[in-house]
Chains A and B, each alone.
Chain A
Amino acid sequence: MIQAQRFERIPERTVDDWRGRVEGALRARVHLLSLFGRRDGDEVLVTALLQRDDGAVEVERARVAALGYASLTPQFPALHIFERELHEQTGLSIHGHPWCRPVRFEGAARGSHDRHPFHVVAGKEVHEVAVGPIHAGVIEPGAFRFMCLGETVHHLEICLGYQHRGVEALLLRRDVRSLGPLVESVAGDTSVGHAWAYSAAIEALTGQPASPNESLRRAILLEFERVGMHLATLAGVAADVGFLQGAATFGRLRTTVINTIQRLCGSRFGRGAIRPGSTRATLDGFAGTGPTTGLSLPEVHANLTLVERDLQTVEDLFTSARTVRHRLEGVGSVSPALAEAIGLVGPVARAAAAHRDLRVRGPAAYDPPVGLATRSEGDCWGRTLVRLDELQHSLTWLRSAFERAPHWTTSRVSIGALTPSALVVALVEGLRGEIVHALETDGDGRLVHYKVQDPSLRNWLGLALAVRDNEISDFPICNKTFDLSYCGNDL
């Protein structure tokens, strides 16, 4: 149900050796989960996390002098964002990186947004459109610079970091066992996903893994979160193409879903539900919050039935409407080859023929199993259909999961000391793709590094490339169908 793998005595390789091993793996099409670094004296420890076909994670680590190393991005573009972040966070030189732009303007670059040299396209026919950081809606901030030829977007540069609030630094400053609320605010719409990754990582560091039944209850919360947010995204897509009946109905179905989450755990976002050693969500009311809410199993099933039934009706109307298809089909395309090359993850990758879903295959695969949603279109239409399919799979799965776990009680295990000199990697298939949390302790069992990776980090470039050669007026639906997190990127 969850993958949290612990590593001890990780060999530190020379740069050449490390490069060779990482290159070899990537050439064999091993999936790169993450690449990050931390300063250690004058040097930087660079860590690559690779996931083999069977799902096992492998760690490749190098000790790199401040002089840096030659970028791997020209050969493997999917690494571009990791090497940019590595440079921004540690100051390490990444020689020959083709696009070493700030990721979130942290560290030395902080506050230099105004001086950011946007990529400029020259020519009499070119005009620039600057959008943001404040956008025209109730939405997070980010700056977009379009280079247009007439109405057609030739190039889009996305400049983020406005939401940077220093999450990773704060994670190291506080008690490692009580980081729950902070982790839940990495990306508030993914509270459950991040809280589960964090809790599973701590449990792996203390050697107290959750029971299968507890993991199942956490997965139920995660699927409710996915269903709720996919509905929010679809409501936004419907609104952006002017299909108001869809917007209203997807929106109110989300209300039913998140109100169900609230009755399970006290928060419409699943906050406070998952903590290291405990899962505070119950079916029969929860301890310590006064009168029990008394959400019963039949009520859960009744809510699921209502959502399934009404979703089917509105989905039929929405997907058969010619106006909807006309707006979404062929717009904002990302080919399967491009999606793979730049390392897209989650539903936007699965809309471009990817079959990767941690819930479906590998050590974190669900039991009972959940269906895989994948499309080959790669455009706004494909991304919409993938979410609709995922909704169906999740709702079906929720039914069977509740049958498997009809009794919910608040569990609590007291969390022990962390294993010293260990690295734990926890992976969760969140609503936007793989969430990676990597925690490392020093010789005294204190946390020395907490790397948080929200899937949005890898997907923003996909949006920038998807709008190329599209009408600039199609940007909103491209943006909505990608539905990426700003704060998850900015940390």
Chain B
Amino acid sequence: MLKALSVRAQQGRQFIPDPRSGRPEGLRGLPVLTAGECASCRACMAACPTSAIAVDPLQIDLARCVFCNECVVVCPDDRVRFTPEPSMASTRASGLLVRAGSSVEPIVPDEVFRRHFGRSLRLRQVSAGGCNACELELNAAANVNFDMQRYGIDWVASPRHADALVLTGPLTQQMAAAVRLGWDAMPEPRFLVAVGACAISGGLYADGDAIDRSFLSEVGPALFVPGCPPHPLTFLRGLLDFLGIA
């Protein structure tokens, strides 16, 4: 009993009081680009492993960016900078384009989903080629620190009980049928969330020949959560904004 009490005493209060605000120290999050003319070096484009960056004008597509920092390292003019800002989810894949002076398109809350799920949302996660980094961060969203259950959001074991499918990984051919089965098992209304560069665009595996993304072209995600992996706060804030949870 005493042992349990001392563990409890040391535990204290671990939850982040307001997950809606704050920037995790040190995080390589939302990039900010500096306006100006590029030299003709194109070094960032050569260094980018997913062709996420382009010049004239300088832009980064967070649908593809894996936040590896290679562009920052090679840029002679320091025009790219990653900030600790975790909020960067969007309701459109094309809204994930970051330019000098413009950032990710804000999330458009969905009125129908807000009415249904604004106070209780059940999520089923399926990894289809994910490397377990996204999966660990999604699990972390439900730990004692991020505590997404405080908003009535939680993971469930069966797609039958789920309101949304949270997809990670580039969608391997060998998971294509299972992902489809999982989606078909879900009752309506339902929506799809694409988490991580792999799920949004194929990421590092976009040109792999063991990938089958046809499911995504049939069922469009309602929410895109960029990152590699996305920080738990990126995921949580994306959901809160999408469902209009204050």
Interface residues of A (CB under 8 A from B): 105-106, 110-111, 113-114, 133-134, 136-141, 161-166, 169-170, 173-174, 178, 180-182, 185-189, 191, 232, 245, 248-249, 251-252, 255, 259, 262-269, 271-272, 280, 288-290, 293, 295, 309-310, 313-314, 316-317, 320, 412, 485-487
**Are B155 and A245 closer than 8 Å at their CB atoms?**
no
For B159, give the chain A residue with the smallest CB separation. Answer: A134
CB pair B3–A320 under 8 Å, yes or no, is: yes
From known contacts A166-B210, A487-B132, infer whether A181 and B68 are also in contact, taking CB-CB under 8 Å: yes
Check A191 against B8 for contact (C-beta < 8 Å): no
A252 touches B72 (CB 8 A): no
Q: Is the interface of B mostly helix, strand, loop or mixed?
A: mixed
**A141-B128, A182-B49 known; A317+B4 contact, CB < 8 A:** yes
Contact B28 A188 (CB under 8 A): no
Among A139, A161, A170, A251, the residue within 8 A (CB) of B208 is A170
Please state if A137 and B157 are interface contacts (CB–CB under 8 Å). Answer: yes
Give the 5 A-B CB pairs with smallest separation, nearest first. Answer: A188-B133, A188-B131, A136-B157, A263-B26, A266-B28
Cβ of B164 within 8 Å of any chain A Cβ, yes or no, is no
Q: Give the docked Cα–Cα distance between A18 and B177 (Å).
A: 43
Contact of B49 among A181, A295, A314 (CB under 8 A): A181
Binds A, one of B53-61, B99-107, B113-121, B134-142: B134-142
Given known pairs A106-B210, A111-B174, A138-B139, the reply for A170 and B7 (CB within 8 Å) is no
Q: Which one, B78-86, B89-97, B237-245, is touching chain A?
A: B78-86
- When A and B form their complex, what is the total count of cross-chain residue pairs whose Cβ atoms lie within 8 Å? 215
Chain B interface residue bracket vs A: 35 or more
Complex Cα distance, B140 from A310, in Å, reads 19
- The smallest beta-carbon distance between A317 and chain B, in angstroms, is 4
Q: List 27 A-B contacts (CB under 8 A).
A: A110-B174, A133-B175, A138-B138, A141-B175, A164-B129, A165-B169, A165-B172, A165-B208, A169-B209, A169-B210, A182-B49, A187-B131, A189-B132, A251-B143, A251-B144, A252-B11, A252-B144, A259-B24, A265-B26, A266-B67, A289-B28, A289-B69, A290-B81, A293-B26, A313-B6, A313-B7, A314-B7
Docked complex: B215-237 residues within 8 A CB-CB of A: 228-229, 231
Q: Which residues of A contact B186 (CB under 8 A)?
A: none
Complex Cα distance, B169 from A154, in Å, reads: 34
Residues of B within 8 A of A269 (CB): 133, 136, 229
Closest B residue to A487 using CB positions: B131
Instruction: Give Cα A317 to B1, complex, Å.
Output: 9
Query: How many Å lie between the Cα of A417 and that of B68 in the bound state?
Result: 23
Asked whether, in the complex, the Cβ of B205 is within 8 Å of the Cβ of A280, the reply is: no
A266 touches B130 (CB 8 A): no
Q: Which residue of A lies closest to B129 (CB)?
A: A165
Residues of A within 8 A of B158 (CB): 136
Smallest Cβ-Cβ distance to A107: which chain B residue: B210
State whether the Cβ of B25 lies closer than 8 Å to any Cβ in chain A: yes
Interface residue ranges, B against A (CB under 8 Å): 3-4, 6-8, 10-11, 14, 24-28, 32, 47, 49-50, 66-70, 72-73, 78, 81-83, 125-140, 143-145, 155, 157-159, 169-170, 172-175, 177-178, 181-182, 198, 204-205, 207-211, 228-229, 231
Across-interface contacts of B14 in A (CB, < 8 A): 248, 252, 255
Interface pair A288/B81, CB less than 8 Å apart: yes
For B82, what are the chain A residues with a Cβ–Cβ distance below 8 Å?
Answer: 266, 289-290
Task: Give Cα distance in the complex from A114 to B181, angstroms.
Answer: 14
Once bound together, how far apart are the Cα atoms of A180 and B129, in whole Å? 18
Q: Is the CB of A266 within 8 A of B26?
A: yes
A317 and chain B: residue at smallest CB distance: B3
| B27–A162 touching, CB < 8 Å | no
B69 close to A288 (CB less than 8 A): yes
Minimum Cβ distance to chain A for residue B216 (Å): 15
The smallest C-beta distance from B7 to any residue of chain A, in angstroms, reads: 5
Specify which of A110, A134, A136, A188 is in contact with B134 (CB 8 Å cutoff): A188
Please name all residues of chain A whose beta carbon is closer than 8 Å to the beta carbon of B140 when the two chains form the complex.
251, 255
Contact between A266 and B69, CB atoms less than 8 A apart: yes
